Amino acid sequence: MECFQLRPIGRIETPYKDKFGVPRQAGLVPSARGKLVLDSAFRKEEAFRGIEECSHVWILFLFDKVREKDVRLSVRPPRLGGNQKLGVFASRSPYRPNRIGMSACRLHGVETDEQGEMALLLSGVDLIHGTPVLDVKPYLPYADMIEEAWSKIAPDAPERWSVQIAEEVREVFEALPDEKQQAVLETLSLDARPAFHEKETRTYFFRIYELDVGWEIVEGVCVVCSIRTVDE
């Protein structure tokens, strides 16, 4: 079998430090900002000339946290409750043969700092911090937005939970910058629990920014009950 080598063009910095809690699709958490820091070989203005004429870009990346031995041909998508099997190529599961993913993200611009480090500024990201990026392509509405497209597997956007902040952590939460508050609320509204935990009552924790956030589902409402700072 013919094999190819792919070289990452950079790595993305995002608020999400672990797999648990990461939005399952791009754009579901608009306030989640990311920065695609380019490898030195690709820090060339000529390579990205014109990209700021686009509002959105496709990010092609590698699910590097998935081990090759864990790749499988059928998966149990969380969207289907974790009980129904689907062919891996009929899903967006990371457990795919070449472990390649793609996300459409909002592009806010290109940044070059005093050290010459070049980065694309993004939002609506759904990637773990440090994920290697293989390519960037412009999102073309006339070609990529297909009005008559449909999916029986996931016909609608996921429902969102109401999120409340427990009184004992309200002061800590309100001291956070507005962008971080919004990202926490938007992320938790998507219900990050594994499908097989839906009937369990327990406290869950997920990493976002420098925070470890604890939350519970209480009578159909997501309640943030713990917020603590974690050393990087």
Locate the domains of the chain by residue range.
10-64+99-144, 162-229
Q: Report phi then psi at 22, rounded to 5.
A: -65, 135
Q: What average pLDDT does the structure give for the chain?
A: 92
Cross-strand partners of 123: 33, 106
User: How is residue 52 annotated by DSSP?
Assistant: G
Token couple for 196: 């097989």
Q: Give the model's confidence band at 220: pLDDT under 50 very low, under 70 low, under 90 confident, else very high.
A: confident
Question: What angle separates helix 178-188 from helix 167-174, to the nearest 10 degrees?
Answer: 130
pLDDT score for 197: 60
Q: Which of 6-10, 29-33, 218-222 has the lowest mean pLDDT?
A: 218-222
- H helices of the chain, where? 45-48, 141-144, 167-174, 178-188
Q: Give the tens place of pLDDT for each residue, 132-153.
A: 999 999 999 999 999 999 998 8
In CATH, what class is 162-229?
alpha beta
pLDDT score for 229: 93
CATH code, residues 10-64+99-144: 2.40.30.70
Contact 190, 157 (CB under 8 A): no
Q: Give the tens place of pLDDT for each residue, 172-185.
A: 999 999 999 999 99
Q: Give the model's confidence band at 196: pLDDT under 50 very low, under 70 low, under 90 confident, else very high.
A: low
pTM: 0.91
Residue 81 has pLDDT above 80, yes or no: no
Give the mean model confidence (pLDDT) for residues 97-120: 93
What's the Cα-to-Cα distance from 64 to each of 7, 19, 78, rounded to whole Å?
13, 11, 20
